[in-house]
Structure 1
Amino acid sequence: MKTAHSRHKSYTDQQRRDLEFAVGDHVFVKVAPMKGVMRFGKKGKLSPRFIGPSEILVRVGTLAYRVALPMNLAGVHNVFHVLMLRKYMSNTSHVLNYEPLQLTPNLSFEERPTQILDRQERKLRNKVIHMVKVK
């Protein structure tokens, strides 16, 4: 039993990342995608895994940090475990374009089409499928 435990511990120790952030650092916050829910402009598996960058305000305990979230995420608790954060490496060529979104309390929003760009018909053996490209 002890040998199995030590082998398991050696495997997990290789994958462990000792992360530590300072106050004022910028980080990305991990979000979990939900099926069928529109999050930050994308739906399903194409929705972003991390949002941000956000600034760290204060360290809470040994493994938690309080993060400054945007105003549209005011309903979300702002203390995150260190494993939910990823360091933001600043780059001078990286320009952030921030578009404010109107989010509902469950962090989703309604997507409305603005323009029809293209129409096509795909013909199969027994039926015709109409395809529309929407902006």
Structure 2
Amino acid sequence: MVFLKVAPMKGVMGFGKKGKLSPRFEILKRIGKVAYELALPPTLVGVHNMFYVSMMRKYISDPSHVLNYEPLKIKDNLTYEEVPIQILDRKDQVLCTKPISLVKVLWKNHTMEEASWEREDEMKSNYL
């Protein structure tokens, strides 16, 4: 069993969680020296199931270890849209002479540490 390291993307993501280790997967077989074939769930049928060693992290089995896995609503093109849940903080940043209003946004399926600073006007236009 291994965790799969997924690359973070802004806005729309491929699968898994942003900047996180996605749920553990079982290794089916070794392909060459540095690649493995993984058993992916049926929801990820369109994702190629071979991954390099650099994308995997070892999973050490522990009976007390409980994984919180919330299935994502993945579209046909294997993407999903991030949705803001809450505004945590506000600040104004001055660039030259122009002030820009920023808000710290907590995104769905992310922790507080992954909250990001976004422009307030863009957030209002994209998410009412």
Given the two structures, how large is their TM-score scaled by the length of structure 2?
0.55
Task: Determine which structure has the larger strand proportion and give its number.
Answer: 2
Are the structure 2 counterparts of residues 95 and 117 from structure 1 closer, same or farther at C-alpha, using a change threshold of 3 Å? Answer: same
RMSD: 3.3
Task: Determine which structure has the larger helix proportion and give its number.
Answer: 1
In structure 2, the partner of 1:16 is none
Query: Size of the alignment, in residue pairs?
Result: 103
Shift of 1:100: 0.8
Structure 2 letter corresponding to 1:119: R
Q: Are residue 102 (structure 1) and residue 77 (structure 2) matched? A: no
Percent identity among equivalent residues? 50
Unaligned stretches of 5+ in structure 2? 107-128
Structure with larger Rg? 1
Unaligned stretches of 5+ in structure 1? 1-25
58-67 or 121-130, larger mean C-alpha shift: 58-67
Structural mapping, 1:21-36, within 5 Å: 26-29=1-4, 31=6, 33=7, 36=10
Structural mapping, 1:2-13, within 5 Å: none
Alpha carbons 1:29, 1:85 under 8 Å: kept: yes
Given the two structures, how large is their TM-score scaled by the length of structure 1?
0.53
CA offsets 1:29-73 (integer angstroms, 9 cap, x no match): 455x3765524342xxxx34x5331123x4367766542212331
Structural mapping, 1:1-135, within 5 Å: 26-29=1-4, 31=6, 33=7, 36=10, 37-39=12-14, 40-42=16-18, 47-48=19-20, 50-56=21-27, 58-59=28-29, 65-80=36-51, 85-123=56-94, 126-135=97-106
